[in-house]
Amino acid sequence: MAKKRLFEIAKELNMKVKDLQDVLASKGIKFKSHMTQLDEDEVRKVLNQKASETSDKSKNTKNLEEKTFKESSPSKPVIKLPEGVTVREFAEKTKKSPTEILKILMELGEFLTINQSMSREAAELVAEHLGLKVEFMSPFEEVPVETEEETESEQVPRPPVVTIMGHVDHGKTTLLDAIRQTDVALREYGGITQHIGAYQIEHKGKKITFIDTPGHEAFTAMRARGAKVTDIAVLVVAADDGVMPQTIEAINHAKAANVPILVAINKIDKEGANPEKVKQQLTEYGLVAEEWGGDTIFVPVSAKQRTNLDELLEMILLLAEVQELKSSISGPARAVVIESKLDRGRGPMATVLVEKGVLRVGDAVVAGLAYGKIRALFDDKGQSVEEAYPAQPVEVLGLSAVPEPGVEMIVVEGEKKARQIAEERALRARVLAAQKRHVSLEDLFALSKEREDVVLNLIVKADTQGSLEAVKDALERIKTDGARIKILHTGVGAISEADVMLASASDAVIVGFNVRPNVKTQKLAQSEKIEIRTYRVIYELTQEIEAALRGKLKPEFVEETLGLAEVRATFKISRLGVVAGCYVMEGRVTKDSKVRLLREGSIIFEGEISSLRRFKEDVREVKAGFECGILLDGFNDVKVGDLIESYQIVEKKPV
């Protein structure tokens, strides 16, 4: 048999390979490297005979046969390995030389280099040969960090953490500035001397923490990394403008994060302000005012005139009181990284919000792939502090690298332990990047077989409000047993990076009707493994989604993007039409490919190329970095700044 099979039989019998070989050799059965098969019946016969002989011997007799069938010791050493461990890392874990590990792998028929990854089977067999047991860590599991169990009596009330969200010009920044000025302590310090992304104020003896990242993109980006930082979302809506596209996005992002929403109707001092109209508009999105029988708190304010700011802060404290926000101040501290930067003078800096425990100068910490010993802590006023309590934002100095926003910072026993955890995480991250995947339409039905009820989260974008309503209505009418559609967000305009981040955080598929993502958004979607589907005909969209829900989706042809060109000049030529002078930005544009003309993310034309030229010569293709002239077949409304996307329809190979 192959030596690999010999390893498997030894493992099955709880024996070491050398012991099994000794037993077989004692009966004249010798292993030869050129043998491809071993008579397993004869092996079983020999082993059964040895078992019989062992049972008749004295308990004090310790010979090879007794050793062969003795139960393995429960104290067998266990090593924990990540998926995709390399030969070098395996050798370090087992305290063996890489050469020795490579030699055993060669005997198994595995020819690897020192930096190549080992399969699970190979790692188990080599460990068995060394008398060790392997436990594999899932790449999605967190590296275990020792924590102390906390009891209810150890928990104490903490300040609420608030994020302000809303449309870009509805006064979020002005409101934040006005709230800052309500804090007496800040006025004593002459205002904020150092901006660190979050700050605390005190209102009537109670503290409130505000995260100074009001954009819903940042809010969702942190949630996509697993951070549940915000306790309350304050939605700012201008009384004179009403609900706008980004207002709707902010509502959807807050709801997806399951965060209570408090509405601040701003600019009530302006002419044309209509707070009642805002309340009416927001009822369409599930935000009904308390006086109308709902459960959403509405506060009319004027950030500029500082009207009703006290009432807003009191309502925030009321919501916090209802939630009974508590944290433990005992045990190792934990915090969330809100933002980070590389300071030229001081090195890596991270703004963190303490979740539990007390963070102190001198603590050894690990944050994602970064680790270190805290050398200094600075509060939101730039003052040096020795410790930070739950819901208190501080800036941390002393990390080995710049951590990603949204990762958790954990206090561990010592700097050596912190470094070990960071290195193990880096090892796992390599495998995680390769395995990262979100739900797609093709595997939706397979998922429904594993779960009783499958939800397909969708983000829908369209070119016009009318088209959007039609698509949304058609999707909501699709009904299938065992699977259902949940529309997380809808919007008009090109598919954006914010849409991709929301899809990543909520495991959703993005559907575009007559709109396309730009190059930057496409690259983000590829890195986040988010599926984007675009359509021109509404019944094709509904048929494909319904087929996915019913498990009948079998696409035979797929679209393959070839390249992208930007229109930089136009030339009107008699008897031909308008020729677009283009620069190929990426990929290639081919004469026989299909093309679509994009203007601000919307599809203006879809068809073929009538003529493709370079320096008055007809060419079959033009690659990235070169200029060319493109004449679209039957279309002349080309403008400078338009994008021409070249693509082809190819048959999808069966997997």
Residues annotated as part of the active site: 169, 172-173, 216
Amino acid identity for residue 249 in this structure: E
Contact predicate 527/422, CB 8 Å:
no
> Is the CA virtual torsion 232, 236, 242, 247 positive or negative?
negative
Residue 602 CB neighbours (<10 A)? 16
Helix (H) or strand (E) run with residue 421 in it: helix 415-435
Kindly state the helix (H) or strand (E) to which residue 567 belongs, with its residue range. strand 557-573
Q: Residue 262: in which H helix or E strand, if any?
A: strand 261-266
Neighbouring-strand partners of residue 571: 579
- Under 8 Å between Cβ of 289 and 296: yes
Rounded to an integer, what distance in angstroms lies between the CA atom of residue 129 and that of residue 118? 15
Q: What is the DSSP letter of 193?
A: S
Alpha-carbon torsion angle 11, 17, 20, 26, nearest 10? 170
If you ran DSSP here, which 8-state letter would residue 33 be given?
Answer: T
Helices (H), 13-171: 17-26, 40-56, 64-69, 87-94, 98-107, 120-129
Burial bucket for residue 479 (CB in 10 Å: 0-12, 13-18, 19+)? exposed
DSSP code at position 287: -
In terms of Cα–Cα distance, which of 377, 370, 372 is closest to 394?
377
**Roughly how many angstroms between the first and final C-alpha of the chain, as a whole number?**
33
Beta bridge partners of 648: 560
Find the DSSP H helices in 235-379.
245-256, 275-283, 309-323
Interatomic CA distance for residues 648 and 591, integer angstroms: 11
Task: Give percent helix, percent strand, percent coil of the chain, each to the nearest 5.
Answer: 30, 30, 35
Nearest to 580 by CA among 637, 634, 630, 641: 630
DSSP code of residue 124: H
Q: Which two tokens stand for residue 205?
A: 């003896």
Residue 506, number of CB atoms within 10 A of its CB? 21
Partners of 609 in the β-ladder? 632
